[in-house]
C-alpha cells in the first residue's frame, strides 16, 4: 500500500471579515502519496492560497481534518504548528522570501536555528550538502542582492530542503523568473522528485503544471477536476532544446541584419 503524506478530509475554511463570512474552502478532499509530484491550478480567488496555507501548517481549517505524515494537524496550537512547519514542511515562495542581510549559508541555516534536538550531522555539512544539491557551490557566501533570481530561488529551495521535510510546498516558484531560469528551477524539482521528495506545486501556468504527475483544478473553494499526466514534461529535455539568452539575442540580431538586407 502506498504511504499517504497528505490526507485531507472534507476541510472548509471560513474567514470573517468584519460582519461578512467568506467561504474560502468548501469541503476539499485530497490525498498525496509519498514521492508524488502534484500541481494545483486555479484562478485568483479560487482558494489556492488558503489551501496552501493549511497544507503548509500556517493556518488551520475551520472544519474537517488534515493529516500530515499520519499526524492530525487540524487542532494543533501555534507552537506545535511551528514545530511541524520546521520539521515537515519546506516552503518555496514566488518572491523567494530570503533575508536580505544574510548570506546564502545564513539563509539556509535558518530552519536549523529553530530545530529542537540534535542535528543528524554537523550544521556546516548539512548546509553544504543542500548547497551542492541545488547547484550553488561557490555562491554560498553571497547575499541575495548579489545573486540572480534563479540563484535566489535555488537558495530558497536549499533552505526548504535542509530539514529533509515530508513535503515541499512550492507557491508559483517560477513566477518571478524568465522562462529559461524557470525551467532550470523546474529541473531541480524534477531531480528532487526522482530522488523521492514529495512536491506540492501551486501555479496558474499550465506549462509549469504539466511537469507534474497530477493536476488538481480548484475553483470557488472546491476541487472541480483532476488530471493525471501520463507523460509529464521533462524540464531537462526542454532545457536541451531551449535556446539560451545569448542564442536568442544573436538570433534577433541576425533577423535585423536580414531585414536590412532586404
Partner 1 sequence: MKRIFENLKVAFKSLNSNKLRAFLTMLGIIIGVGSVVAVISIGAGAEALITQNLQSMGTNVITISPGRAEPRGEGGPMRHLEDANTETIDEGELHLEDAIALQAKATLLNEVVPVLYGRNSTISYMSWSGQVSVTGTTQDFLTVQGYKMAEGNFITESDVSNLSNVAVIGNTVAEDYFGKINPVGEIIKINGKNFVISGLLQTIGTAGFGSDPDNSIYIPITTAQNKLYGTDTVDSIIAKLKNENQLDESTAEVKSILRIQHRIMPGENNDFSVSSPTQFLETASSVLQILSITLGGIAAISLLVGGIGIMNIMFVSVTERTREIGIRKSLGAKNRDILMQFLTESIILSLLGGLLGIGFAYLISWLVKTFSGLSPLITATPIILALSFSTAIGLIFGIFPAMRAARLNPIESLRYE
Q: List residues near partner 1 by CB under 8 A.
A: 53, 56, 58-59, 78-79, 82-83, 85-87, 91, 93, 97-99, 101-102, 110-111, 113-115, 159, 163
Q: Which CB, 37 or 91, lies closer to partner 1? A: 91
Nearest-approach distance from CB 234 to partner 1, in angstroms: 30
Residue 187 or 197: which CB sits closer to partner 1? 197
What is d(CA 17, CA 59) in angstroms, rounded to the nearest whole number? 16
CB-nearer residue toward partner 1: 111 or 182: 111
Which grid coordinates belong to 82?
Answer: 511551528
Task: Supply the DSSP symbol for 233.
Answer: P
Nearer to partner 1, 84 or 187 (CB): 84
Q: How far is the CB of 87 from partner 1 (least distance, A)?
A: 7
Strands (E), the chain: 4-17, 20-33, 37-41, 63-68, 71-72, 89-92, 167-171, 199-203, 214-219, 222-228
CA distances for 57 relative to 6, 115, 195, 229, angstroms: 12, 16, 24, 28
Taking the least distance from each CB to partner 1, the nearer of 20 and 258 is 20
| Rounded (10°) angle between helices 104-113 and 149-161 | 20
Place of cell 476539499: 28
Pick the closer one to partner 1 by CB: 9 or 87. Answer: 87
Q: Report the nearest approach of partner 1 to the CB of residue 223 (Å).
A: 21
Place of cell 498525496: 32
Cα 9 from Cα 28, distance rounded (Å): 7
Choose between 6 and 24: whose C-beta lies nearer to partner 1.
24
Q: Nearest approach, Cβ of 79 to partner 1 (angstroms)?
A: 5
CB of 206 to partner 1, least distance (A): 25
Q: Give the nearest distance from C-beta 3 to partner 1 in angstroms.
A: 23
Q: How far is the CB of 238 from partner 1 (least distance, A)?
A: 30
- Report which DSSP code applies to 76: -
Distances (CA, A) of 202 to 64, 90, 140, 172, 229: 22, 14, 28, 6, 16
C-alpha cell at 196: 523521492
Amino acid at each position: 500500500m502506498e504511504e499517504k503524506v497528505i490526507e485531507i478530509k472534507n476541510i472548509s475554511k471560513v474567514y470573517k471579515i468584519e460582519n461578512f463570512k467568506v467561504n474560502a474552502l468548501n469541503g476539499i478532499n485530497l490525498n498525496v502519496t509519498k514521492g508524488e509530484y502534484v500541481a494545483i491550478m486555479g484562478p485568483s480567488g479560487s482558494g489556492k492560497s488558503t489551501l496552501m496555507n493549511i497544507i503548509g501548517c500556517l493556518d488551520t481549517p475551520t472544519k474537517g481534518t488534515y493529516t500530515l505524515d499520519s499526524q492530525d494537524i487540524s487542532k494543533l496550537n501555534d507552537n506545535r504548528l511551528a514545530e511541524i512547519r520546521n520539521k515537515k514542511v519546506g516552503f518555496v515562495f514566488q518572491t523567494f522570501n530570503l533575508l536580505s542581510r544574510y548570506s546564502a549559508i545564513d539563509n539556509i541555516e535558518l530552519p536549523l536555528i529553530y530545530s529542537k534536538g540534535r542535528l543528524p550531522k554537523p550544521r556546516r555539512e548539512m548546509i553544504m550538502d543542500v548547497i551542492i544539491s541545488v547547484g550553488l557551490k561557490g555562491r554560498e557566501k553571497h547575499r541575495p542582492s548579489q545573486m540572480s533570481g534563479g540563484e535566489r530561488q535555488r537558495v530558497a529551495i536549499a533552505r526548504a530542503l535542509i530539514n529533509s521535510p515530508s513535503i515541499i510546498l512550492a507557491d508559483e516558484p517560477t513566477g518571478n523568473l524568465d522562462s529559461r531560469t524557470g525551467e532550470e528551477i523546474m529541473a531541480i524539482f524534477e531531480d528532487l522528485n526522482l530522488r523521492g521528495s514529495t512536491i506540492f506545486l501551486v501555479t496558474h501556468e499550465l506549462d509549469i503544471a504539466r511537469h507534474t504527475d497530477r493536476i488538481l483544478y480548484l475553483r470557488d473553494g472546491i476541487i472541480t477536476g483532476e488530471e493525471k499526466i501520463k507523460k509529464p514534461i521533462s524540464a531537462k529535455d526542454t532545457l536541451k532544446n531551449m535556446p539560451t539568452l545569448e542564442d536568442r539575442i544573436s538570433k534577433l540580431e541576425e533577423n535585423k541584419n536580414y531585414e536590412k538586407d532586404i
